[in-house]
């Protein structure tokens, strides 16, 4: 029998209790000679198989390739702090409330009965991964967070910035997301949490947000603002005795920044522009620069172009992790599944019309044209790679584009319950047509908050993974600065310059799952089911 690899920790398993999870808890033991455990790390070998394709004279020449990698996963999960930009917004207050309710096992009553705290909607906390099959050929699944050691959201140390000085209890009440009985019990835990002053450049967000802006870092010197944010990060880390900090933007959608040669096109030009307080340097980019210079992962959860070319280059220079853009929660997540299904089925979508209205502050900010344009861009790109994947349906004869219409309206009465309506109009064989209409009502912040959890958990996990090419490299390297593994949770996935994004939801998840499987010695997913289909 092959050597046994056990990533299970009895010490952390013993600490489990209802309503409270623990970082680093694992239960999967893989028996393989591809893995060894030593010095608080899992070492694995992985054969990455792909194929290089060249089209010559109408024929495809396909050359299979194999590259062997050696991975190292540090198994010690660090004490991690989460700094949210927009801590007092709907998402920030809901996340803090959710972690507090789960950490303290706070149940509450609604008209439908008693509700226990949970993390439904989070992939890392409430989803499973297929491990293999049992003796009868039946699929066997394990919880996502029990395969490799992961940070648990109950262990987040949360802080952050906001342009509003309202404490988190008041922010939670203002957001009107959670049931009253839960809010009532959370007040004593949240009323002492007050956001740090934040950056406010009125030109980048809607004018209607000015009434909230009472908690600001003074002055107009943008480099001083970078230094202020860096100091906040260092002090938060020191005060809470943290091993690691992650910064995530969940504040208002900004307008797009203009890409200007000599201003934000290179890392050096961007830093020079900040020191000159150039008007096209946005607040979100200021936070990104500060995080990069501090060596702290930075994730952009809104649709604006925070990561201008100079910002990406700066992250590459400092080997700092970045990820974005824009949370993919409801309507767009469904679109990245349905559009993929239609194209893969040989059905030709010719138009996708998406409409939604919402009444929270996000909708209020998006009622301004420039901020809506940022959201429109991120939503529109979600089906691009699906169209490009099928040259039978999309070509010079039939056309290479889909009419994609996006409308967002602010309707205060619906509050945080976003109403989405989509129509997919497609061509069938011999002039036939198929129309799929979907009406979806979702509680916006209760969909977005689990995404924040997953983005933080997976970002921290990826920071503990290093690799080297077997037989050709001596030293381990970290992944590229742009964490495209996060794309499952993002509308407009940021990718390494020169590479195209993957938007299909199933493809995005498969990439991350196969990495996790490879780290513990399992092969990529295989659904041939030859046990059933052979004699």
**Helix, strand, or coil (residue 356):** strand
What are the respective helix, strand and coil percentages of the chain, to the nearest 5? 35, 25, 35
165 noted as active-site residue: no
Residues 196 and 164: beta-carbon distance below 8 Å: no
335 noted as active-site residue: no
Per the residue annotation, which of 326, 362, 416, 422 is the catalytic one? 326
Please report which helix (H) or strand (E) contains residue 81, including its range.
Answer: strand 80-85
Per the residue annotation, which of 333, 335, 375, 379 is the catalytic one? 375
195 Rama class: left (phi>0) / alpha (psi -120 to 50) / beta: beta
Q: How far is CA 421 from the centre of its chain?
A: 24
375 noted as active-site residue: yes
**Helix, strand, or coil (residue 407):** strand
**Helix, strand, or coil (residue 277):** coil
> Buried b / exposed e across 56-74, counting CB within 10 Å, b at 16+?
eeeeeeeeeeeeeebbbbb
491 noted as active-site residue: yes
Strands 157-162 and 196-197: parallel
* Backbone φ, ψ for residue 182 (5° rounding): -70, -45
Per the residue annotation, which of 244, 328, 379, 491 is the catalytic one? 491
Strands 477-478 and 465-469: antiparallel
Neighbours of 120 (CB within 10 A): 9
Neighbours of 287 (CB within 10 A): 26
On the question of a cis peptide bond just before residue 325, with omega within 30 degrees of 0, the verdict is yes
Q: Which residues contact 59 (CB under 8 A, 6 or more apart)?
A: none
Per the residue annotation, which of 165, 333, 379, 418 is the catalytic one? 418
**Which residues are identified as catalytic?**
326, 375, 418, 491
């Amino acid at each position: 029998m092959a050597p046994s690899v056990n990533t299970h920790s009895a010490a952390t398993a013993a600490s489990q209790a209802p309503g409270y999870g623990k970082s680093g808890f694992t239960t999967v033991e893989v028996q393989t000679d591809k893995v060894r455990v030593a010095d608080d790390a899992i070492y694995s070998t992985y054969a990455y198989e792909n194929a290089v394709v060249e089209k010559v004279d109408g024929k495809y020449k396909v050359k299979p390739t194999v590259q062997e990698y050696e991975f190292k996963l540090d198994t010690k999960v660090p004490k991690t702090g989460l700094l949210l930009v927009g801590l007092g917004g709907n998402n920030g207050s809901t996340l803090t409330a959710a972690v507090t309710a789960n950490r303290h096992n706070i149940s509450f009553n609604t008209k439908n009965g008693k509700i226990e705290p949970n993390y439904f909607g989070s992939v890392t906390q409430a989803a499973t991964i297929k491990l293999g099959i049992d003796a009868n050929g039946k699929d066997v699944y394990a919880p996502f967070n029990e395969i490799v050691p992961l940070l648990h959201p109950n262990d987040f140390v949360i802080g952050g910035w906001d342009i509003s000085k309202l404490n988190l209890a008041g922010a939670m009440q203002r957001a009107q997301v959670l049931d009253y009985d839960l809010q009532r019990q959370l007040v004593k835990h949240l009323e002492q949490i007050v956001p740090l002053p934040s950056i406010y450049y009125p030109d980048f967000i809607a004018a209607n947000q000015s009434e909230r802006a009472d908690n600001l870092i003074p002055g107009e010197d943008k480099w001083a603002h970078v230094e202020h944010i860096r100091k906040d990060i260092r002090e938060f880390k020191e005060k809470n005795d943290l091993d690691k900090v992650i910064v995530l933007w969940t504040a208002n959608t900004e307008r797009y920044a203009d890409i200007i040669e000599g201003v934000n096109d290179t890392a050096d030009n961007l830093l020079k522009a900040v020191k000159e307080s150039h008007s096209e340097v946005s607040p979100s980019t200021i936070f990104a620069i500060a995080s990069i210079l501090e060596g702290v992962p930075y994730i952009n959860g809104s649709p604006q172009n925070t990561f201008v070319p100079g910002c990406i280059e700066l992250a590459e220079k400092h080997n700092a992790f970045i990820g974005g853009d824009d949370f993919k929660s409801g309507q767009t997540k469904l679109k990245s599944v349905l559009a993929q299904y239609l194209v893969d089925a040989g059905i030709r979508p010719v138009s996708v019309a998406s409409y939604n209205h919402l009444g929270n502050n996000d909708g209020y900010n998006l009622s301004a044209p420039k901020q809506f344009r940022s959201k429109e861009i991120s939503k529109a790109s979600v089906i691009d790679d699906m169209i490009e994947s099928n040259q039978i349906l999309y070509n010079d004869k039939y056309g290479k584009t889909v009419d994609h219409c996006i409308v967002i309206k602010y309707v205060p009465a619906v509050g945080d319950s976003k109403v989405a309506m989509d129509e997919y109009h497609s061509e069938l064989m011999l002039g036939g047509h198929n129309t799929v209409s979907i009406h979806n009502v979702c509680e916006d912040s209760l969909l977005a908050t689990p995404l924040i959890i997953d983005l933080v958990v997976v970002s921290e996990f990826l920071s503990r993974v290093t690799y080297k090419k077997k037989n050709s490299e001596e030293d381990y390297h970290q992944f590229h600065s742009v964490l495209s593994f996060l794309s499952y949770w993002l509308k407009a996935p940021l990718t390494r310059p020169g590479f195209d994004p993957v938007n299909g939801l199933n493809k995005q998840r498969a990439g991350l799952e196969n990495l996790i499987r490879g780290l513990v010695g399992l092969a990529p997913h295989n659904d041939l089911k030859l046990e059933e289909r052979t004699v």
